[in-house]
Chains A and B, each alone.
Chain A
């Protein structure tokens, strides 16, 4: 099991343009048929991890966030804090039952924690 990198997320100022760029570049496809209208990306491969594109607010900046699969988001958030990390987005549920949080490591890199609804 372990805690693998389970997905990536591009946070883009212009999400349509970003999605189009990567789809054109790699032949990926986008699906937005979900309650958040989230742009999930199909990389057309069983290998590697899947990802998606989320809009970046005007006050933020474009980044890529890697999400690590964990079995208890809140527990890992607490563990990250004890190790010198900071909580950027506290643990929260997503519409389809998934759970997520975003932390900063001690150098300020954003890292996501993700627990799928099925886990």
Chain B
């Protein structure tokens, strides 16, 4: 038994703090560092503690909330011989068996659970959000992740007037197809212009046809807000279907852009929440489409 424990501690030190630290795992159940304090020399025990505490700060939202929970438990166990899984569960305000399932990956970590536990662990709101985002991404397919990214790019494109301004400029006399020139003309940074160009070219709204000729491919969409929004949403829909391999499917995508004043926001948010509740009740046998709704301020700089 001692050898078994020693082996696990060596793994703990040499590999990673969480890679081998499994609660209730068969073969060596109930392993706790405090047991070793009775059987090993104190200096070795101290070095294990030091090593754990060196490793723990390396864990961040990018490693996932489950890993963070495990490392937090490991840290507390190493610094307090009396600490246990039950103590941790008590502090988190959840049942110890629920905590055990969460740690072993037997129970899904919902955004609500991460927010609750993160707050009880004293994490900052931005850290909690990063953990929630990380967990959401972990369950996503490559295609749905890319479509979500594309949708966010489209939102940025619609909410920032510099994109339309760039398209309009391309047909103006004296236009210089050079990012640095555009940046000066629109009072933006070169990077801001390049990010805008990336979005426009990706959706096929702008073509850099030649070194001296950039062409607005928004099909006159840039002439009005509504026309531009329609074009952008149509291109997004086309690309999403291309990404998901459903190009042959008729585009049954009623998409809309609705502008409103600040006073109408509470009413609109209420409508979105109502839609969310009703859509959640719909029977969903297959996952072929997804509905994203973003409410963004319109930042028309130009």
**Chain A interfacial positions (CB closer than 8 Å to B):** 15, 32, 35-38, 54-55, 57-60, 86-90, 92-97, 104, 106-108
Contact = CB atoms under 8 A, between A and B. Distances in A.
A36 B194 contact: yes
Interface of B: 142-143, 145-146, 149, 152-153, 156, 177-180, 183, 190-191, 193-195, 197-199, 201-202, 204, 207-211, 214, 239, 242-243, 245
A57 B156 contact: yes
Given A57-B195, A57-B199, A37 B179 contact: yes
B211 A57 contact: no
Contacts of B178: 35-36, 95
A38 B245 CA distance: 33
Contact of A37 (B142, B177, B194, B199): B194
Given A60-B149, A107-B142, A35 B177 contact: yes
Contact of B143 (A86, A93, A96): A86
B142 A86 contact: yes
A86 B153 contact: no
Given A55-B191, A57-B198, A87-B243, A93 B209 contact: yes
Specify the main secondary structure of chain A where it touches its partner. loop
A96 B195 contact: no
A93 B212 CA distance: 12
Contacts of B179: 35-37
A61 to B, nearest CB: 9
9 contacts: A35-B211, A37-B180, A54-B194, A55-B194, A59-B156, A89-B201, A92-B207, A93-B208, A104-B146
Contacts of A95: 177-178, 208, 211, 214
Contact of A15 (B191, B193, B198, B207): B191
Contacts of B191: 15, 55
* Most central of B143, B179, B193, B208 by chain A CB within 10 Å: B208
Nearest to A107: B142
A59 to B, nearest CB: 4
Nearest to B153: A59
